[in-house]
Structure formats: C-alpha cells, structure tokens
Structure 1
Amino acid sequence: MIKSSLLNYELPNSSINQEPYENPLDSKLLIAENREIISFKQFPEYVESDSLFIFNKSTVRKVRILTEKNTGGSLEIFVTKKLNDFEAICLLKSSDKKSKNKKYQTNLFNFQIQEVLDEAFRCIFDMKIDDIINKYGILPLPPYIKDNPKKRKFYNNQFSDNGFSIAAPTAGLHFTNELIDKFKNKNINTAFINLDVNLNTFKPVKSENLNDHNIHKEFYSIDKAEYNKIITYKQSNKNIYCVGPTTLRAIETAYSTKNLVGNTDLFILPDTKINLPTHLITNFHAPMSSLLSIVQNVYGDNWKELYKYAIDQGLKFLSFGDAVLFKYK
C-alpha cells in the first residue's frame, strides 16, 4: 500500500502566487539536482544544444458564463465538456432547484437540462456552444486564485493552439514565444502535443491508499510527425525536456499504448516506469494533489525537503508561481 498522506505538506498562503508574472521570463526555476535558482530568462544558457522540449499546446477556453435568468436572479454556467455544437456538460450555479427537463431563459440565450449527473448537468442550448463561449464567456481561473479580469490574459500559454482546456497546462506559462525562439537559435528543438486539461486536475487525493485514487481521464492527441520526432530523440539518447505533467501523461500513454489519439487515465505512481523524457519541468503543486505522485516518482522521498527549501527561498507556488527542473536518473 502506498499511503496517500505521502502527498501532504505544509503550504503557507503567502507562498501561493496570486498575481501572474507580467513578464514570464522573470519567473524562477529551481534546478532540483543542485538547488540553484535561476530566472527563465537565463534558462537557455543551461540547456545543451540539440535538446528537445515538448509542450502541451491546448488552449484554455472562455467556459465561464455569467448571466441573468429572465425570471430574476443570477446564473453561472461553467462548460466542462462540449459534446456537440449545441450540447455540453455544465456546472450550474444559481439559487433555484435544478431537475431534468427544466428550461432556462436568460438575457443571452436559452437552454434545457437534459440529464442530471453526479456533480454536473447535460444541457442543450439554442445557440452554438462555441458562439456562447466566444461572445459571452470569460476565462476561468483556478479555485485558489482570487478572480480578477486583469489576471485572465496571463492564464494561457503564448504558444497555445486549438484544444479545449478549462485549466491551463501551467508549466508552459514560463515559456514565451521569445524564449522558444532563443531555443531555436541554440539548435534546441520543440515538439507540441495536445492534452485537454479538465477541472479534475484540481481534485485532491482523498483515498487513504494512493492506488485506490480514481484518476481522471483527459483527451489527448499527438501529431504523428511530432511523435516521431520525440522517438528519434529518444533513440539517439538526446535530452528530452517534458514541460508539465499533462505533457508527460500524454507522451507516456502514447508510448505504452501506441495510440496517438485517445483518452488517458494514466496515473503516474511513485514506482511507475517513465520511458521518454530525461527531464521534467513542472510548477510547485498543492498539498494532496495527484500531481505530487509524479514529483515523488522523479525525485523520491526527499521532495518534501526540496519543497521546504523552495518555500524558505521565497519561491512561489501553484499556477502563477515558479517552477522546478527535475532530471530522471
């Protein structure tokens, strides 16, 4: 049995970065191997030529819609999954009782609840979901970040392209297009995959045994040319930097299943064998996050000591925070 309490630690509120870095290159990177702290501006100097960086390019969509019911009262709709042009799985927040077949008329559009799910609702709208999101939606911020319109523009990767995420693959936030161009000038290559990050990424582990945790599924897709590039680097024993746990989850699933498109429920446990990357870059995660199992996997039992060191050095945690670079042994 792997005790899930392994993933717990003390995180002071003061270490949670509530404000995004206006210039992502000012954010900090802790090199786990020697505990050196550098800025992302300096990072290209530390990377060997002909290394490969793999990024998750999925875009965070404006899935949070604030509106008013025609009968009075506010209504918040949070689109968690688009099923087709007019149907979606949604979270609904309003004061009224919700039930199957209930119809809502709002000052923006109308919709009906078709099915009541565990924590959400399957709804059908009289307007295309994409049009609703593009016209009326706002970008959702993580639950631990105080909402402010000024912060939202920083919660998408500069290189994001297509995809349907409702949370950002935040390790990529440190990498501006300018930084990626500097990589290219140093003959450092890039590959892009897509994994759509869903709300369950914020769900803490609650089972006592880590093996009993029901890990969420996420949709991924990898272009064949990009996948072949990754495999070529692997076969040549060159450095492969995996940017973020979502990227790791996608490439490891593709490698083990040989499916370049699908849903992954891969749960990287402390003893899971990692096949492709030589390095992992990831933000600092919240206590009891399933993502800390990945940190335990790459760094071992001393990760709590490393996290305490980061806190003591004033590094910032979670989505708008700093990052750490791990090397696979």
Structure 2
Amino acid sequence: MRTADLDYELPERAIAQTPVAPRDSARLLIDLGPKAEPLDERVADLVNFLLPSDLLILNETRVLPARVAVLRHGGGAGEVLLLQPLGATDVGDTETGDNEAGSTESPESDAEGWWEALCRPSRKLRIGDQVVARSGELSFEIGEDLGEGRRKVRPIYKETLLQALELSGEAPLPPYIHERLNDQERYQTVFSQRPASAAAPTAGLHITADLLERIASRGVEILTVELVVGLDTFRPVTTELLEEHQIHSEWYRVPKQTWEQVQLAKIEGRRVVAVGTTTVRALESAAMYGQLQGRTRLFITPGFNFAIVDLMMTNFHLPRSSLLAMIQAFIGPRWRSLYSTALERDYRFLSFGDAMLLHRVPELASSEEGEHEAQA
C-alpha cells in the first residue's frame, strides 16, 4: 500500500490545543457504515451504543513524568525525555517475556538501569557526562549516541525513579500541542494505574468515572489491559510503501481475567469494544503471538485479520501515521469520508480532540478496499 493513501489535509485550526470539560462532553462521531450518515453524539452518550452483553476494554497505563529540564556541566540548559528502558526483548523473538498473568515484569527498569532517551542538545553531550535536573535530586549519566537525538542515559536517584521523576519531571505532551497544560491530570485517564508511558492512550481521556458507572449499570463488563505508549506513536510514516515502515515496539500486558473473558465473549458471539488503538494493539498482539505480555512490533495494516476487536472508540489521527493505517485496516478506506465529515462539522482532532466509534464489518471493509484499489 502507498503511504500517500493515508494522507489528508489537516488544518491547523482543527488541532485541539486544550481538553474540553467535562471530559465526556467531547463529541463522538458514530460510524454506521458506508450507506448511512454518521451520527453526531457526545462521549457521554457512548452507553446508548453499547449492548449489555458487550465487553468494554480500557488501557490502564499512566503517563510517566518523563520530561526533565536539566543543566549541563558548565551551566547550559537542556532536556532529557525518557522513552523506554533498554534490554527488553520483543514478543516472538527467541527470548520472550514471562507469559504468566500477574507477572511483575516492569518496563520501568532493567538490570543495568540504562534507558533510551531524547536529549537536547544531544550533539553537545559526551559519553560519561552528567546532567542535573533543575529541581529535585535527579541526574543522568550520558551514554552512547543512538541517532536522531536519542541517547543512552542512566538515571541516578536516591529513592525510586518514579519518586525522583515526580519531583523533577512532567508529562511530555505531543509535539503538536503548543499550549501549556495547567492541570497535568488532564493528560491522564481517570482509570490510569502504573506510570510507565511516554504518551497517553488518548481515547481514554474522554472517559469519566460517572460514564463508567453508567456503562457498568447497563450490564457491560469493563476490563483492562496495559500497553505502555511510546512517543513513536506520533511519528509519521516516511517510506513510500507502508510495508517498508519499521514499526516501533511497545510493552503490553493482558491480565489473565481479561483474556479469559475475551475468549468467552468470542465463543459466545458477543462484542469486544476497545477504547483506543493501544488497547487494540495489546489484544490483537496477545491473539497473534499467544503471549499475554511482552514487547510487540505488531503493525496493523490493511488486510490484517482482526481476531478480537469488533468496535473501536478512537480519536482522529495524524495523516500518514501507523494509527491511521490501523483505522483503514479496521473499516477500510471509508475513514476518508468520516474524516471529511468530521472536518466539515468542526470536530477537534488529535490527542485533546474529539472521538469516533467505529464498527468493524469484515466483508464491508474488504469490499471497500477492493473498490478503492480499482479506482487508484
């Protein structure tokens, strides 16, 4: 597939700079298939589009306050943004992660303490240098250059890394957000648990405790997975062909209880509703690799055979992105008409923007794919 097929014009005015309040007042575009006009609703109305037999699955990861303002030796200012611990192995490789649900494997640390980080200004840093956080008691030893502004760094702290980061760091906002976020909790979901991610699972930002209570009262079972979101989620696909893109890996965990209920739902013909592309990636990775946790490089592109997810609630994504490739895999090229409709109706796009609820109809997605290729 040509990456250009995932391109569209996104006006700057459509990129939401701040979240709405309350969270579930965000707009929700309901996809009803290629032969019907999508509905304009609010996230608060999501409960009306769920069945009592549905499973609703959330990504419970929490954003790590991983962006740290630092001072270099000699007083120059800089920044360290922790991305992921080094030394982890991808699912499907010879050495795999523990597959037992409830394992305490953590993506926050490894045996030697080295992390991959974005450092600024990377070119002025030398191996062995130490940079010190502007506040708190955290410093970093600089390691080898990994390219594209990325370095190996080793955090040095007194208690735990999380405690040090809470004093010295802040959550990293996406590069297209230019306004300062006064309340850092607005870039966390209300159901977030373990801090580990470099970015929020943004579809979940719309969910409120009250909405979850109303969904549960309807009879819907609410379950969780954990996928640690990396900053590469914002990275555009730059290769001419989508298949040539090197997808980033992310750590995921599907609790045993969640997996058992998902399997039962599939056997009984009940729907699995995923909140966010990260939840989709975790569930489909578990199905494809047969492992409940590990690092995944699953790249969901058109033609992918979804084993688990039937409905997806998701935000509107960047042009030429791996996330948009997943959307086309899920509903076919009709995403174009949905995005056009959303822009015409002044929906807000990207992380702090509005959302859509997509229904996967396999035969429709594949037939639309064929029609699109015939016209190309």
The TM-score normalised by the length of structure 2 is 0.83
AA at the equivalent of 1:200 = D
AA at the equivalent of 2:225 = I
For 1:257 and 1:66, the matched residues in 2 are separated by 39
Contact 2:187 2:205 in 1 (8 A): yes
For 1:241 and 1:106, the matched residues in 2 are separated by 42
Q: Which ranges of structure 1 fall in alignment gaps of 5 or more residues?
A: none
Deviations 1:51-94 (A, max 9, x none): 11011111101001113335222121111123438432221113
1:132 is aligned to 2:172: no
Match of 1:88 in 2: 115
Question: 3-state DSSP class of the match of 2:186?
Answer: coil
Match of 1:251 in 2: 283
Deviations 1:270-324 (A, max 9, x none): 1111111211111000111111111111221222121011000111100001111
Contact 1:57 1:163 in 2 (8 A): no
Deviations 1:3-53 (A, max 9, x none): 110110011111111110121110011011140010112221222112110
**Residues 104/175 of structure 1: CA separation in 2 closer, same or farther (3 Å cut):** closer
AA at the equivalent of 1:43 = L
Match of 1:121 in 2: 151
For 1:86 and 1:210, the matched residues in 2 are separated by 34
Contact 2:72 2:130 in 1 (8 A): no
For 2:21 and 2:147, the matched residues in 1 are separated by 39
For 1:225 and 1:163, the matched residues in 2 are separated by 21
AA at the equivalent of 2:220 = I
For 1:319 and 1:234, the matched residues in 2 are separated by 31
Question: 3-state DSSP class of the match of 1:296?
Answer: helix
For this pair of structures, how many residues does the alignment match? 328
Greater CA drift, 67-76 or 216-225: 67-76
Contact 2:70 2:132 in 1 (8 A): no
Match of 2:40 in 1: 37
Root-mean-square deviation (CA), in Å? Answer: 1.7
Match of 2:338 in 1: 306
For 1:244 and 1:233, the matched residues in 2 are separated by 19
Q: How far off is 1:105 after superposition?
A: 4.8
Contact 1:141 1:167 in 2 (8 A): yes
Matches for 1:244-283 after TM superposition, within 5 Å: 244-283=276-315
Matches for 1:12-31 after TM superposition, within 5 Å: 12-31=11-30
Deviations 1:122-159 (A, max 9, x none): 12233153232121111111100014141532111110
Q: What's the % identity of the aligned pairs?
A: 31
Contact 2:73 2:130 in 1 (8 A): no
Match of 1:161 in 2: 193
Runs in 1 of length 4+ with deviation above 6 angstroms? none
Matches for 1:41-190 after TM superposition, within 5 Å: 41-69=44-72, 71-82=74-85, 83-84=109-110, 86-94=113-121, 97-105=124-132, 108-119=137-148, 120-127=150-157, 128-150=160-182, 152-190=184-222
Determine which of 201, 210, 215 is the counterpart of 2:247: 215
Contact 1:191 1:230 in 2 (8 A): no
Greater CA drift, 258-267 or 291-300: 291-300
Contact 2:28 2:41 in 1 (8 A): yes
For 1:157 and 1:151, the matched residues in 2 are separated by 13
Deviations 1:178-217 (A, max 9, x none): 1111111111111100000001101100111111111110
Greater CA drift, 111-120 or 224-233: 111-120
**Residues 118/49 of structure 1: CA separation in 2 closer, same or farther (3 Å cut):** same
Question: 3-state DSSP class of the match of 1:321?
Answer: coil
Greater CA drift, 35-44 or 127-136: 127-136
Q: Which ranges of structure 2 fall in alignment gaps of 5 or more residues?
A: 86-108, 362-376
Contact 1:69 1:106 in 2 (8 A): no
**Residues 285/298 of structure 1: CA separation in 2 closer, same or farther (3 Å cut):** same
AA at the equivalent of 1:61 = L
Question: 3-state DSSP class of the match of 2:278?
Answer: helix
Contact 1:19 1:151 in 2 (8 A): no
Question: 3-state DSSP class of the match of 1:123?
Answer: strand
